[in-house]
Amino acid sequence: MQQLATDLQASVEDAAAHLYVWALKDIPQDLRDALVDAQARETSVSGRRVLDTIVRNVDVADDAHNLVCQDTGIAVYHARVGEHFPLHPARIYEALRDGTARATLEHPLRSNAVHTITRENTGPNIGYRLPIVHWEFVADWDGLDVKCVPKGSGSENMSFLKMCVPADGVRGIKQFVLESVVDAGGKPCPPGIVGVGIGGSADYAMHLAKEAIMRPIGTRNPDPLVAQLEDELFALLNETGIGPMGLGGDVTVLQCHVEHADTHMTLNPVAVNYQCWAARRASAHISVDGTIDYDREA
């Protein structure tokens, strides 16, 4: 049993090291398609030039086997742990941390991790409570899914939370999201994905907004009312005229995704999390025998 745990921990570490670099180098196909579609829809001269440059940037990164953006972000992982997966979450976290450090040193990647007070670097993209790991536990399953979503500072700085009142209703949600995107302007490197979290508590609404940006572009929430809100927000945000990189144009966002949770009768929390055009993500499944299957599109 001890050998199995050791081997599994090594597999998780290998997966994390690969996922971090893979996500930074090779953006998903749904994002590539959305950028090309944006090129076709954009009518402003400046907007087209920006989108042409972005698409060329992706091609150059492919040809050179290099990063699509110099900001290697904070390494954020989402771990779905099966009830019968033999490796304890404490060891899973240790493996994700070690894999992040390995990737940073071996590639090498820019290390962004600093102490929040002294601003001194804390290591190869690791430190106190870094990397960030979100957990989900699945009954009657023996596998482990890991998704890496590196989050750059430019877009992460454009995060917003408002505790609306229930009387604000859907109109209040739309108004806050619209105001947030307009205030952000070109800072989060649009066009990107706007993630909206509604319901739950203040902290959980922001978590839901983060979940929303992880979805493949164009997917829709299974709740038809929430899916309708996604469509309405997508159209509304692209009417702002902010355009690519904030220089004006038709395409301000590639998509808007909404995640929701039930909440208290007197609460109506709304969170907005922006993901830049380089919406990076990469996933892997680790089987109980240590086999790793990588999935680009998950």
> What average pLDDT score do residues 269-288 get?
96
Quote the pLDDT of residue 141. Answer: 97
> What average pLDDT score do residues 85-89 get?
96
> What average pLDDT score do residues 95-104 get?
98
Q: Cβ distance 212 to 195 under 8 Å?
A: yes
Domain ranges of the chain: 2-25+69-150+280-295, 153-275
Helix axes 45-64, 29-41, angle to 10 degrees: 150
Q: Which residues of 229-251 are buried (b: 16+ CB within 10 A; e: fewer)?
A: bbeebbebbbeeebbbbbebbbb
The domain 2-25+69-150+280-295: what is its CATH number? 3.30.360
Q: Which has the closest alpha carbon to 247: 39, 44, 58?
A: 44
> What average pLDDT score do residues 79-102 get?
97
Tokens of 194: 């706007």
Residue type at position 256: C
Cα 282 to Cα 25, 147, 194, 217, 298: the distances in Å are 10, 6, 19, 14, 7
> What average pLDDT score do residues 19-31 get?
95
> What average pLDDT score do residues 34-49 get?
96
Peptide linkage before 131 cis (omega within 30 of 0): yes
> What average pLDDT score do residues 253-259 get?
98
Q: Cβ distance 189 to 51 under 8 Å?
A: no
Quote the pLDDT of residue 9. Answer: 97
